[in-house]
Amino acid sequence: MSKSVLGSIIILFTAVVQLACSYDSAAYKDPHYVDNRTTMVHLFEWKWKDIAEECERFLGPMGFAGVQVSPISENLIIENRPWYERYQPISYKIITRSGNESEFKDMVARCNTVGVRIYVDVVINHMTGDADPAIGTGGSIAEPKKRLYPAVPFGPDDFNNPCGINDYNNGIEVRNCDLSGLHDLNQGKEYVREKIVEFLNHAIELGVAGFRVDAAKHMWPGDLEAIYGRLKVLRSDVFGANERPFIFQEVIDLSGGEGVNKREYNRLGCVIEFSFGIQLGRIFRGWAPMRDLRNWGFQDRGLLPTRDVIAMIDNHDNQRGHGAGGNAILNYKAARLYKMAVAFMLAHPYGHPRIMSSFDFANPSQGPPADNKQNILSPDPITGDLPNGADANFCGHGWVCEHRWSPIYGMVGFRNVVQDSTLIHWWSNGGNQIAFSRGNRGFVAFNGEYGVDLKETLQTGMEPGDYCDVISGRKVGGKCTGKSVRVKDDGTAYVEVLKDEADGVLAFYTQTKL
């Protein structure tokens, strides 16, 4: 071995060691929320101009912390326009059915102005699958079978050798082969890293707060660490000086025994905890008693530490039967159970919660509501005094808008107030009725018993007075639009959640006191 080669190896090894030592994962786990806000919503397939308007008219005023948006990079146009075409990039230009770069920039600025952060779903593991012709949403053309993407540009040498994933216990195969036929980029190659970093840094320049990293499981942690470590700090005029982007990674690992383990990734940033929604789905479906939730998040259920987690009940994949969880996954179609599970997620202190906001679908490939030219239709939400969420389609034009259901946005306000207050005053009937307080700031009760009313006098830990239930309504003009609860001088209250109620939950917090 020549001295020059040996010297190059030593320099490279030293650089790798320095990178590993200097990488501060905690810096990438701060979502940069403002005004004590706590909850993100995924506005799946919304257009940029509609998100900007929703930030201003609803999300900001109702205390939402951020929005995860659909992929912004130019994607392959697929016949019948299924939702998953957004996950087949053809270039890194910002132009999709959601809008162009100018509209995206305007949305980010408007949402930041009202305290709502924007997080981009980024697809950097792969490009498209084979398609002929291969035309993008911005007019770019590619030759996927030859692995030619001139709009980036990427060529054959920028991809791993073609192979399929047949064994998920083989970590090398999972990370180096094509996911569902999508051409797998080689993030270990310097040029590929440069193009990815360039794309992400441009989004940072436009004012985003961070990224959801799609298919992180299918990329080597060392490659991701190198990419994250080269990202710019966030814009100081929005976030302050020297703030790093929030990173949350898609790593589906339920058993911890596959070839790729989620604990390889939470050292880099946060991880989306798929087991969270699956386990809660099983409980709220009645497959296990709700009394088992007493030590939720405080005992070993195979979940990652709370500081490292994006918690969710469902996402765009598993609500359609993809990804993981099967029939355990709850979504808007089982409205009562779904609202209960989301309310529990928001009432409990575990993780960074993310709410799903969907469009109605009859088949799992169906794309967003669109006109006869395949242009995405805008949601048409009802304004003013909003309904209680019993109608899953009240947002209009086929949009479900779970984030506008009263039990859900009401609990967003609950979580913003209770913050890190201790979970106390746990009560259970020994089965599927439970209640607890969050310090002296909030109280919540759940009735998961089929055909049985919850009628109990319970310790709430709250100050005496009359409070508005945020599940059935809200406090408006000094009055409750839904149920009210009276807390006595000893902190107890008569709590009633009837078996035939649409929501199965009752909740109130300090700011709802009359």
Active-site positions? 214, 250
Nearest CA-CA partner of 259 in 325, 168, 178: 168
Provide the 8-state DSSP code for 435: E
Do the beta carbons of residue 204 and residue 234 sit within 8 Å?
Answer: yes
Do the beta carbons of residue 361 and residue 393 sit within 8 Å?
Answer: no
End-to-end CA distance of the chain: 80
Structure tokens, 307: 């500081």
Radius of gyration of the chain (CA): 24
Provide the CB-side half-sphere exposure for 165 (13 A, CA). 22
Coil vs helix vs strand at 498:
coil
Do the beta carbons of residue 428 and residue 477 sit within 8 Å?
Answer: no
Q: What are phi and psi of 214, to 5 degrees?
A: -65, 140
Coil vs helix vs strand at 422:
coil
Burial 42-54 (b: 16+ CB within 10 A, else e): bbbbbbbbbbbbb
Do the beta carbons of residue 485 and residue 469 sit within 8 Å?
Answer: yes
Residues across the chain: 514
> In Å, how far from its chain's centre is CA 97?
21
